[in-house]
Structure 1
Amino acid sequence: MEWTLRFDPQASAPRLLMLAGQPLALRRDGDNWIASRVADAAFLYRVDPAEGRGPIPPLHRVDAVADTPPQVKALTGGLILVTPGQRNWSPAFAATDDYGVAANARLRVTLAIGEGENVSFSEREIPVTGSGSNGGWARDRRFAPRLDFSTFGFAAGGDMVVQLIVRDNRTPGPQEVRGPSLILRWPSPKQPESSGLTGMVNTTLPAYFRSQRQIIIDIEKLLKDKRGLPAERALARSASIGGDQQILRGRYSQFLGGENEGAPELPTADGEAHSDGDGHDHPPATTPNIFGEKEDVLAEFGHPHDESPASSLDPETRAILKQAVDEMWQSERELMTGHPDAALPYAYKALRFIKEVQQATRIFLSRVGPELPPIDASRRMTGKREGLASRQLEITPVERQDGPAAVAWRALGTGPDGVTGPVNLVPLDGWVRANATRLPDALALNGAIDAMRQQPGCASCRAKLRALLWTAMERPAGQIRRRRPADAAGTRYLDAIGGAP
């Protein structure tokens, strides 16, 4: 800030007196007197031509508003795809600031070229210039640089990420901010290497959304719509639900170590072992082990399912889960063969076993009540009160932080504590300095205190200071209101029961 003052008649050694601060000397430049300082906070000052010269000049107030950092906004979408034939890109940004955005900014460009694990990154910054009115002090600027793909080496299968870095006109030490990032993506022209991957994804995806209850709902819906569907359509829907049942069965089989992936053992004679020469194909009885193969070592000396989640299940829960998986297999078989009506009972049984497993894995804790001290039966019905103390809590008064302000407020009033003469404002001055951060307007209080010191008998000054103190003091805490007195009907009721209002 800079002041340029002129006095009539001419002053000899004028000063700027800062309230609660060091005075600021003025230097003469012809008929003018000049002073300057950095306004880093709000302050009060007065112009003093010379000591003892006329009445005391009034106070002037300067409010310092903190400089806010610039705001950057992207004018285009966050993710943009390259169009066929495109060879350049112009990302657009808008920057605003309360005291002006610098015309020169920087654009950070990050390139990610490649796919999979073969991705290379490069980063560089280029200077950009924005457009705006009012020259270098424009509060709104627009930045839209043109980026040529050949200059940056941008090609198909890569991403270009840009971010604008702007500054304001603050001196010294301009504030710098980074705007949002914009992404330009150039899709790769390569097609999926194998169509089998898509089929696998489509088959595995329902495992994240299907449950046994959902499978039952799908079966019941299929049975309801089966009459109006062609036979091929009904079979396809049944097989699709069977695929979901297969995926869910595999998920629950993981808790059994994967041992139940195949069909369950039949409890009838159909499950008897076969022998050579019975007309069936059988694998060789033994296969030679290859030394050093981890699969052969594990099969010969260990169990491949010891590290599975099944190791944390107790035998009873494991048996119930095995029954659920068996019922799922039966449901899956009927669904794959196009018999959803026969699969529905097995699906319900599997759901019931799953609920039993969920209940079995829960832990129930007994409710713990308060630990009361034991009752001394020897003192009961005796009337002895030795050692008993009152349980009534003492009321602790709230310590308020505005003691000097309250004392000054009462002294400036007309009540019993009012002071007609000069009031001691030293404690109040210290209280204002100590609580300046929480007061609504500390400068106004300082100005009112200074006016009281200069004119102790000013009635309007006293009223102004008292009003400011009332708004600055802490609000009293809420208190319990007394019960309202009884009305006529209540009084008659209390008299009837022998009570008193």
Structure 2
Amino acid sequence: MSREFRFDTWLRPARRRAAGEVMLLGSPLVLVLAGLGWAVVGGVLAAGLLLTSGTALGWVAIRRAGRLDRDWLVRRLNAREVQLEDSAGLVFAEGDLAPLERVQSGRIAERIEAIDPVSLADDWPKRGILMAWALGAVALAGIAYWQSESSAPPPPAPATQATDATLGPPRLTGQRVRIVPTAYTGLPARVSDSLDIRAPAGSRIEWTFAFTPQPSAAALQLIGGQRLPLERTDEGWSGSLRLDMPALYRITAQGMRESQPAHRLEPIPDEPPQVRVIEPASGLVTMQPGQRSWRVVFEASDDYAVDRLARLTVTTAIGEGENVRFTESSRTVTGMGEPTRRRFVIELPLASFGLQPGSDLVVQLTVADTRDPDPQVVRGPGVILRWSVPEPQQAEGLDLMAKQAMPAYFRSQRQVIIDTEALIKQRDRLSADEFLVRSDTIGVDQRLLRLRYGQFVGMEAEETPRPPLPTSDKDKPAEPEHYDGDGHDHGAEPESPVFGDLGNITAEYGHVHDESEAATLLDPETRKLLKAALDAMWEAELNLRSGKPEAALPFENEALGYIKQVQQATRIYLPRIGSQQPPIDMTRRLTGKREGIVSGGARLTPFAIEDAVPATAWRALSTTNEIDLAGLESWVRSNSPRIRDPLAVLAAIDALRSRPASRALREKLRGELWVVLTRPPAQVRRRDDGGALGRRYSEGLR
């Protein structure tokens, strides 16, 4: 007989009985704790208490069963059977036995085999188990009764208009409003005695009213809207409505003489989530030498709850100029923390993105709230990790005038090509008009790019209007368009013109808008390439504006090829531009002529009211004139987003409609309209006269 087999066989029944005893005695306590959590907070706390207390009870049961070891088994056998001669320990001994001990162990083992292992376990504590479950059942029944009493709606509260009269027209004697927010908010239902309701948008509003005497019909009348009939129940007159739009309502009943005041229905809109960057502190971070990973921490907050899962968008920009390659990827990240404020911690291994000097890594987080349906999705701010390009060596002499890096203008021809190729692929899915508009839009982008490039070869902007050529002497202006002091450099008048000096004809009689140095920024070969690129851009623009992107694509690629060759130019020299003031015309000094010096002067533009409806009503309320309340109410409803409290204005309009001659109600509506009126722009203020000293000085000058 093996020691291991005998040991496990004899201990297993006793250990199961001990663990079961602990579980049966402690289970009622676990259920009572879970019931208390459900009654106080809800199912979430009940599940948490059930899991925690159940785990603790299981741990206690395991510890209780673990106390039954080999020593306990030996003591129980020796105490139960006298015929074992207190030698049961020899059967389960761990070490080697002496010859006499082995003989005694064999004799005792034969006697032990005749004993049933189940008989060694303790008896079930039936009385204790019954008492524990009885007490648990009583506690659970009490909790259930308490929860039913607390969740039951209270009786309608006495209304402010309640009287002791039992005869006559119906009067409102009781009221109760139960507000049930939507499930995604996580807010519990509540009961309010006030008829002015402010609750989350989408909540279900349930009214219960008591009338004395009972009317034949009752309803809720939304001012300017629908009529909601009330149903007769055991508790009173009940009705419900989903709160989506702000409105005013009034309680009406059949035979009710007095008009009830208007009450507010104001939904609280669900705000979109907010995303901010916790780490790093700056939106642009420079990559450090030897850096292997990048840690970014976002925090998202919402008025109710932020979705636990968010989408991280990672964009890499590798390369320079037209050779920049953009790659975008996304992944799902999990937030930590409370539902209303979650943190998203991201560790990005930089080796997997293939960054190079001059590259950018942009990270953005897109989060959503838990609104159901149509959750609100917000894309947070981007954080940039930049691998800086090493600074070039310092140059001397004429090299200081050289611009080593290409300007930002040379960056968008490739994007024009990408847009054109995408438009060609979408031709079958677009209508003819939409296709033409999209093609024309790309043509405009090509034109703007061509004009930017043209600045480097002295080309003027095409938007500058040119005056028509005169057809006779009568059409010539009396004053020349360009005069001294107009801001252009006309140069000094030559002392003696030289006949045949063609080089000075333009400078003497013409008017040059571009600079000679600015028009020759590039060397002749680079200038030739850039002009070829401009010609190709012109052809591409012509086809794009005509709705022919397929014909424009070859010219776009040709222009891109020329631009790449321009990028490979070793130097681009910039002009030496200093502070050059126009020459002073000595003939105009002390003459009093102001032509071309002072403009017409500043003029005050009268302020025009865009919508005069509230202003007209505000002025009419100060008199006894009639007011178009229907038109004013329509204006308030259509312009409610720009009004701080539109329901207050509508309530004042409704009160004045019932009593148009009331001076107090007219003043109240006038006060509400005052905050609605459009404020005029800043006025021109009179300059300070300097006080008594300034006035005395001014009088002395006179």
Settle same-fold status: TM greater than 0.5.
Answer: no
* Alignment TM-score, normalising by the size of structure 1: 0.45
The structure with the greater share of residues assigned to helix is 2
* Alignment TM-score, normalising by the size of structure 2: 0.33
